[in-house]
Amino acid sequence: MTSRELDPGPLRERAVAALTAARERTRVLTGCVEDRELTAQHSPLMSPLVWDLAHIGNQEELWLLRAVGGQRALRPEIDSVYDAFEHPRAERPALPLLPPAEARGYVADVRERALDVLARAPLHGRPLVEAAFAFGMIAQHEQQHDETMLITHQLRRGPAALSAPEPPRAPASAAPLPSEVRVAGGPFTMGTSAEPWALDNERPAHRRFVPAFHIDTLPVGNGAYLRFVEDGGYADPRWWRPEGWAQVRRQRLAAPLFWRREGGAWVRRRFGVVEPVPLDEPVLHVSWYEADAYARWAGRRLPTEAEWEKAARHDPVTGASRRYPWGDADPGPEHANLGQRHLRPAPLGAYEEGQSPYGIRQLMGDVWEWTASDFLPYPGFRAFPYREYSEVFFGDSYKVLRGGSFAVDPVACRGTFRNWDLPVRRQIFSGFRTARDAEPA
């Protein structure tokens, strides 16, 4: 069904709600610290928070005011400053950035104009506006930068600036889950051609044959990962790819990022708070190389991207591919740990209502899950609306992550959503689960 056949009223309401939710989160992330913290670079891996803030506004201006609304540029002189491909993150503090007050005024002005464009724009006739796509794309873009800013908050030193309630636990009366489940071999529909706000790398839907495999019912937890650490996993090159072992030696890695030994116990730093490492929580802040090494040590492997998506979306009874593990309904707080509702992963076994038809839990939210796969286009891929979103990253340099973390908003998280990063990255909210081949039935 095209947006011409849909009532444009709900489409506009959905777009307004998504844009408003993203902006409220941006205000929280940029308003909880003093201006000097916004202009500081807390890590060379990340931009100053004030760069992200103005970049959000600049992208909104480029796509909603200029491309959709046909308006003249408000601040053409800053386009280069906030071009993510022109300036690496480490160099951005030296750019002529808008100061915090000016950046806030700029993004507010752009948003007021963008909402006016949304109120008047036809939501059909051009791919960019079909089903309010451009507005959904910009809401997702802002939420993705909100996650980036939350990573910066985790990297910054000093007292805690953010707070959130604790995530739910699995019911004490719940029956224990099996450690893994078997997913039968066969075809399934991967990707999407129907999700109106899906991004180009999620498209098109296509049939994919996946041999039978076993996959963990839960992400790998801190307790399990600690056994790898204490078994000398970081000191044994047998488990590591050559590039990963070089990173271990070069950076003297001995545990996940933000872990350290204190008084004979392992503690971690989480958003300005030092606390004991919770053994029943999914492991967090590990690189692809660390995930791969653990899997080798455990006699297993990382799932491929196709295996992960089949485990998350395929219904073996109907043969259909769902939008989410639990079905087609939008995510609710009972389904998954999303949207910065909590500032940590939920304990292992939580969110029974969010499990897949195979009985696999916590596939969405909590931690991004590394897969074995390189980031590559699907058959029939077409870049839209610009090559730099996906196409320039395709190849064997980047590994795919799936599922979304607690820092991901539902608007930017689906069963088909694909994230990617360099295999050395540890500051992202990344974890993993493992898999193994299955014998033919």
Q: How confident is the model at residue 439 (pLDDT cuts 50, 70, 90)?
A: confident
Q: What confidence tens digit (pLDDT) does each residue in 87-103 have?
A: 999 999 999 999 999 99
Beta carbons within 8 Å of 2's beta carbon, 6+ residues apart: 124, 130, 131
Does 2 have pLDDT greater than 70? Answer: no
Predicted local confidence at residue 7, as pLDDT: 61
Quick one: DSSP state of residue 377? Answer: P
Q: Say if strands 273-276 and 419-421 run parallel, antiparallel, or are unpaired.
A: unpaired
What integer is the mean pLDDT of 205-218? 98
Q: What confidence tens digit (pLDDT) does each residue in 121-179 have?
A: 999 889 999 999 999 999 999 999 999 999 999 999 999 999 999 999 988 877 889 99
Instruction: Kindly list the distances between the CA atom of residue 197 and the CA atoms of 34, 139, 170, 200, 403, in Å, as whole numbers in the listed order.
Output: 35, 10, 32, 9, 17
Q: What confidence tens digit (pLDDT) does each residue in 243-302 have?
A: 999 999 999 999 999 999 998 899 999 999 999 999 999 999 999 999 999 999 999 999
Q: Give the CA diameter of the chain.
A: 65
The number of C-alpha atoms within 13 Å of 168 and in the hemisphere containing its C-beta is 17
Task: Tell me the pTM.
Answer: 0.96
Mean pLDDT of the chain, nearest integer: 96
Q: What confidence tens digit (pLDDT) does each residue in 338-359 have?
A: 999 999 999 999 999 999 999 9
Q: How confident is the model at residue 5 (pLDDT cuts 50, 70, 90)?
A: very low
Does 4 have pLDDT greater than 50? Answer: no
Q: 112 and 71 in contact (C-beta within 8 Å)?
A: no
For the chain, percent of residues with pLDDT exceeding 70: 98
For the chain, percent of residues with pLDDT exceeding 90: 95
Q: What confidence tens digit (pLDDT) does each residue in 300-331 have?
A: 999 999 999 999 999 999 999 999 999 999 99
Cis peptide leading into residue 303 (ω within 30°): no
Q: What confidence tens digit (pLDDT) does each residue in 33-44 have?
A: 999 999 999 999
For tokens 């009985």, the residue is 359
Beta carbons within 8 Å of 428's beta carbon, 6+ residues apart: 151, 285, 368, 401, 405, 421
What domains appear along the chain, each with residue ranges and CATH number? Answer: 3-155 (1.20.120.450), 172-441 (3.90.1580.10)
pLDDT, greater one: 15 or 125 = 15
What integer is the mean pLDDT of 356-375? 98
Does 56 have pLDDT greater than 50? Answer: yes
| Rounded Cα–Cα distance for residues 181 and 360 (Å) | 8
Q: Say if strands 273-276 and 265-270 run parallel, antiparallel, or are unpaired.
A: antiparallel
